[in-house]
Chain A
């Protein structure tokens, strides 16, 4: 088997395959592990000091980024708000293209422009007057549509407090390793966002929901992107760590539409979203463009408003965060040093990959995934440099252990060694 121990995850969907590969030799592992632990108990008492329990108590800030979600909301109804639906669908298309699967996108559209009688192109939605791209193609899964898009449902989606009958596809099943993109567009004002022409989401409602999400460990990092008038005011109440917010306009400013499609007869896209999309059109999922380059791409003269971003709650430097961390589904590339350290519960971030399985399978616990064949990577000079003394010993021990051809034989040897040990102990206790 030549599966490398360096596992590069691109897609969440692929993770189960990886797990399967890892699980092939699970049975032999456990036996091997039991033996090794016994050896440790005898030989290196210091090993006990490496706490087992620390991993379960770890805060989410130290949890790995393992999956991506997107919540895309268009809050306004009516034909003349065509552009808001086009905004949201454009972003939907973009995040899908950059790798967030449909099952992890919650799309909320308050009205159905595609089937509006006034639409000159029935069942099609465009975000550009050249009409090259139909946003409302075959693979659009709208989770909340029409009058379902309410403040209540929106807050329920964020906080996860659904009624029991709500299907899983309409829930945001994120966890403490999730990066969530929350995109909202519609008509806003000072500290509110209008929903459906009848109700409002206020800035403290949003902040409260985000706080609940944080407490319930529903995200690791959250990017809130809002394209409304006075969008910046919507962020004023936020104070949960790990939240990054960007809005299309400052307080007192309007956000404008980009252009009018005189064929359809309405404005088809807003400026902020248009330039966001223009930025992403140049990217594919392998690109390393950072969030700061995205934020820097907004030109106030082109937007006719000032894009505002709030990053005092966000710990990482924007230059180091690729946009695909939120708009795609790209995790950090991780070199696993060894297959065996992880089960010991050692909590060094660099060398461990945690994979959170979908809760749908009912497996809440985290499993540590290692690869069976580690021989090649153990001698990897890069990783070796960073190893401590203990780890050095561990490696040498492992090197010896690898020399033993067959695991079963090793186990048998172990058992044979245990017999005199048992004899010695019984003799001593007598």
Chain B
């Protein structure tokens, strides 16, 4: 210890500060945790207005050129598409052929892209190494392929090195009105872009066959786009399967379809991608544009892309832009009270000094908080919110634009007006992105949205997380030094051990390495966590009976291990110290991979880890403080269990009546299927830490 050896030479200020913090660890942890939660709640207040950061974009500086001819053409196209539904027969092929014909009539290069939906495969390391194994199963059924139709306009004076992608997912079996409208919007823009002289980037229109899901078709196309195949690797199934289709597809008019081919066509690197959708319901959304941006593992497209769309939609097309929000939060009373408190604090501050303008109205605060919560949740989930997520895997900025018509689109005039608005919006965005010289790089990639035009940047939201996890190392150090001190003081009082001997020295050394036992314990539990998270993968690989045995074996293994070794009385403190260190490391690692997961995880883990105290000691203590602590521990221990946490959160947001036991399994399975890092976090950080905390609670002291 520092104080025992050198009373004269004072340690350096940084060391002194460290010792001070460690000695006041309780106060520090209470203050830091409170401040962390408060900072998180303050984020909607601290949100800044978005701004177009990249000068080159210049959204809205050019007049929309989309004319009524384009619209009427698109209308004709839409009628043809919906007309196909009435006819019986293979609409799947018919619709893609119709789209291809319309595309090539405009003068675009057109090709069909046939793909087979890839079965969801758990690749635990998918987000570390994007090793794209092109799995071709031998027994692919020829009928089970989707057909994307791809049209490419070459920029007349561009260098052909860059491209902008438009994606319109549609179900080739049955095209409903909404899908037809989204295709028509893309068509109107496409037909305009074949005529304009200002294109600097190629335009790719991908009519994605969403028969097997939107994401699957888009990601299949992207995979083929980004990994060119040379030689005859791809030949087999394109020949076997598509022969029949191609045969009767090409029979009638060779001339009109000369530009349509099965050869995969490419343009340059993608600058941006826009997924266009039209929401079919006349639900609550009228005349709005919803933006979905979250890709896998909380990755977001560059904020500038959202800014352009927001700017053009609000100021040019008069659409109301919205992003996802947790609607249930809007009704919550405590949030309203909090908002009012912040508002009044802001008002007081403004009355003191008019320069201070940080208060926002309570209603704005609630909106912001609801949007922020949803933004945080969808990022934490790590599952893309739409087919734009496939683009993010290739570092292409992409968003989904879901346009909701104001009224039911039954008559033609309404449809025309809708097409015009949507088309002009898309045209404006494309023209703006067309002005771009490089990839999007100027604005933020790490941000949380609190409204379509407000964001919290990484520099601000990191503060909340940093405050939350700051007490962990301090408490760990304090617990460790306390345990050592306690041992040495115990030794002093013990008269037998007063004479110093070689044996005593030896024991001293052993004691200083005592944390290794605890570390071993923690390591075993974490290895168990790894096994648990690999369980679904193992189950897939093994025969049925064996997998069941294995499951029970793995899930039960810590219980067997639990009563293996407890020797010393103060061991739980060392164990807690190591647990806290492990949680700290896990949270910090996770914050790098997916910040939102780490933030939510820290909210659950940090209080649980910090408060963990053996129940038996608390019961023995017979004080109010001890009982309160025991109660808190029980509650936190319950909430900390991942399924319990899921049900509590889901119940509090959506009402408990809708909660179903299978929901958790579905939720976990979706995380697993989408290769979310959150799944690994739950399995390898959260679950072991929870188990260790429970162990500490049940520690036999």
**Interface: B357 (CB within 8 A):** no
The reply to whether A117 and B157 contact each other, CB–CB distance below 8 Å, is: yes
Task: Give bound CA distance, A264 to B435, whole Å.
Answer: 11
Distance to closest chain B CB from A92 (angstroms) = 24
A79-B435 contact, Cβ under 8 Å, with A117-B198, A117-B200, A120-B196: yes
Q: Which residues of chain B are within 8 angstroms of A122 by Cβ–Cβ distance?
A: 157, 197
**Interface: B434 (CB within 8 A):** yes
Encoded as 1 (CB less than 8 Å from any A CB) or 0, chain B from 187 to 198 comes to 000000000111
Distance to closest chain A CB from B271 (angstroms) = 13
Encoded as 1 (CB less than 8 Å from any A CB) or 0, chain B from 136 to 172 comes to 0000000000000000000111110000000000000
The reply to whether A118 and B434 contact each other, CB–CB distance below 8 Å, is: yes
Can you list 27 A-B contacts with CB-CB less than 8 angstroms, sorted by A residue number?
A78-B56, A79-B56, A79-B435, A79-B437, A80-B55, A80-B56, A115-B157, A116-B200, A117-B156, A117-B158, A117-B198, A117-B199, A118-B199, A118-B434, A118-B435, A120-B196, A120-B197, A121-B197, A122-B157, A122-B197, A262-B61, A262-B62, A263-B62, A265-B61, A265-B62, A265-B431, A267-B61
Please count how many residues in chain B sit with their CB below 8 Å of the partner chain's CB atoms. 20
**Interface: A266 (CB within 8 A):** yes
**Interface: A119 (CB within 8 A):** yes
**Interface: A260 (CB within 8 A):** yes
Which chain A residue shows the least CB distance to B156? A117
Would you list which residues of chain A between 353 and 387 have a CB under 8 Å from chain B?
none
Would you list which residues of chain B between 300 and 340 have a CB under 8 Å from chain A?
none
Q: Which residues of chain B are within 8 angstroms of A115 by Cβ–Cβ distance?
A: 157
Encoded as 1 (CB less than 8 Å from any B CB) or 0, chain A from 76 to 88 comes to 0011100000000
The reply to whether B198 and A119 contact each other, CB–CB distance below 8 Å, is: yes
Distance to closest chain A CB from B153 (angstroms) = 13
Q: Which residues of chain A are within 8 angstroms of B56 by Cβ–Cβ distance?
A: 78-80
**Interface: B63 (CB within 8 A):** yes
Distance to closest chain A CB from B163 (angstroms) = 13
Distance to closest chain B CB from A356 (angstroms) = 45
Q: Which residues of chain B are within 8 angstroms of A267 by Cβ–Cβ distance?
A: 61
Task: Give bound CA distance, A264 to B155, whole Å.
Answer: 17
The reply to whether A117 and B155 contact each other, CB–CB distance below 8 Å, is: yes
Task: Give bound CA distance, A7 to B352, whole Å.
Answer: 77
Distance to closest chain B CB from A153 (angstroms) = 23
Which chain A residue shows the least CB distance to B54? A80
The reply to whether A118 and B200 contact each other, CB–CB distance below 8 Å, is: yes
**Interface: B349 (CB within 8 A):** no
Which chain A residue shows the least CB distance to B432? A265
**Interface: B58 (CB within 8 A):** yes
The reply to whether A265 and B435 contact each other, CB–CB distance below 8 Å, is: yes
Q: Which residues of chain B are within 8 angstroms of A116 by Cβ–Cβ distance?
A: 200
Q: Which of A80, A262, A265 contacts B198 (CB 8 A)?
A: A265
The reply to whether B437 and A263 contact each other, CB–CB distance below 8 Å, is: no
Among the interface residues A78, A119, A265, A267, which one has the most CB atoms of the partner chain B within 10 A? A265
Q: Which residues of chain B are within 8 angstroms of A118 by Cβ–Cβ distance?
A: 198-200, 434-435
7 more contacts with CB within 8 A, not counting A263-B62, A265-B62, A265-B435, are A117-B155, A117-B158, A117-B200, A118-B435, A119-B197, A120-B196, A265-B198
Encoded as 1 (CB less than 8 Å from any B CB) or 0, chain A from 105 to 124 comes to 00000000001111111100
A120-B61 contact, Cβ under 8 Å, with A78-B437, A80-B435, A265-B435: no
Task: Give bound CA distance, A120 to B199, whole Å.
Answer: 8
Q: Which residues of chain A are within 8 angstroms of B159 by Cβ–Cβ distance?
A: 117
Q: Which residues of chain B are within 8 angstroms of A78 by Cβ–Cβ distance?
A: 56, 437
A residues in contact (CB < 8 Å) with B: 78-80, 115-122, 260, 262-267
Distance to closest chain B CB from A267 (angstroms) = 8
A260-B198 contact, Cβ under 8 Å, with A79-B56, A117-B155, A122-B157: no
Q: Which residues of chain B are within 8 angstroms of A260 by Cβ–Cβ distance?
A: 61
The reply to whether A265 and B196 contact each other, CB–CB distance below 8 Å, is: no
Task: Give bound CA distance, A265 to B159, whole Å.
Answer: 20
A262-B63 contact, Cβ under 8 Å, with A80-B58, A80-B435, A118-B434: yes
Task: Give bound CA distance, A33 to B490, whole Å.
Answer: 126
Shortest 10 CB-CB contacts between residues of A and residues of B: A265-B62, A117-B200, A117-B157, A262-B63, A117-B158, A120-B198, A80-B56, A118-B200, A265-B61, A118-B198
Q: Which residues of chain A are within 8 angstroms of B431 by Cβ–Cβ distance?
A: 265
Task: Give bound CA distance, A265 to B62, whole Å.
Answer: 4
Which chain B residue shows the least CB distance to A77? B437
Encoded as 1 (CB less than 8 Å from any A CB) or 0, chain B from 51 to 81 comes to 0000110100111000000000000000000
Task: Give bound CA distance, A403 to B668, whole Å.
Answer: 120
The reply to whether A264 and B62 contact each other, CB–CB distance below 8 Å, is: yes
Q: Which residues of chain B are within 8 angstroms of A79 by Cβ–Cβ distance?
A: 56, 435, 437
Among the interface residues B155, B196, B435, which one has the most CB atoms of the partner chain A within 10 A? B435
Distance to closest chain A CB from B683 (angstroms) = 48
Q: Which residues of chain B are within 8 angstroms of A265 by Cβ–Cβ distance?
A: 58, 61-62, 198, 431, 435
Task: Give bound CA distance, A80 to B155, whole Å.
Answer: 19
Q: Which residues of chain A are within 8 angstroms of B437 by Cβ–Cβ distance?
A: 78-79
Q: Which residues of chain A are within 8 angstroms of B158 by Cβ–Cβ distance?
A: 117
Among the interface residues A115, A118, A119, which one has the most CB atoms of the partner chain B within 10 A? A118
Which chain A residue shows the least CB distance to B62? A265
Q: Which residues of chain A are within 8 angstroms of B62 by Cβ–Cβ distance?
A: 262-265
Q: Which residues of chain B are within 8 angstroms of A264 by Cβ–Cβ distance?
A: 62
Distance to closest chain A CB from B11 (angstroms) = 46
Distance to closest chain A CB from B268 (angstroms) = 12
Q: Which residues of chain A are within 8 angstroms of B55 by Cβ–Cβ distance?
A: 80
Task: Give bound CA distance, A219 to B334, whole Å.
Answer: 77
Which chain B residue shows the least CB distance to A81? B55
Distance to closest chain B CB from A196 (angstroms) = 13
Distance to closest chain B CB from A220 (angstroms) = 40
Task: Give bound CA distance, A134 to B216, whole Å.
Answer: 51
Q: Which residues of chain A are within 8 angstroms of B157 by Cβ–Cβ distance?
A: 115, 117, 122
Which chain B residue shows the least CB distance to A119? B198
Task: Give bound CA distance, A109 to B290, whole Å.
Answer: 44
Task: Give bound CA distance, A136 to B260, whole Å.
Answer: 40
Task: Give bound CA distance, A267 to B60, whole Å.
Answer: 12
Distance to closest chain B CB from A108 (angstroms) = 21
The reply to whether A266 and B200 contact each other, CB–CB distance below 8 Å, is: no
The reply to whether A266 and B198 contact each other, CB–CB distance below 8 Å, is: no
The reply to whether A266 and B196 contact each other, CB–CB distance below 8 Å, is: no
Task: Give bound CA distance, A78 to B442, whole Å.
Answer: 15
Task: Give bound CA distance, A135 to B412, whole Å.
Answer: 46
Task: Give bound CA distance, A208 to B200, whole Å.
Answer: 41
Task: Give bound CA distance, A38 to B321, whole Å.
Answer: 98
Which chain A residue shows the least CB distance to B157? A117
Task: Give bound CA distance, A115 to B158, whole Å.
Answer: 10
Among the interface residues B55, B155, B157, B198, which one has the most CB atoms of the partner chain A within 10 A? B198
Distance to closest chain A CB from B203 (angstroms) = 13
Task: Give bound CA distance, A260 to B62, whole Å.
Answer: 9
Which chain B residue shows the least CB distance to A120? B198
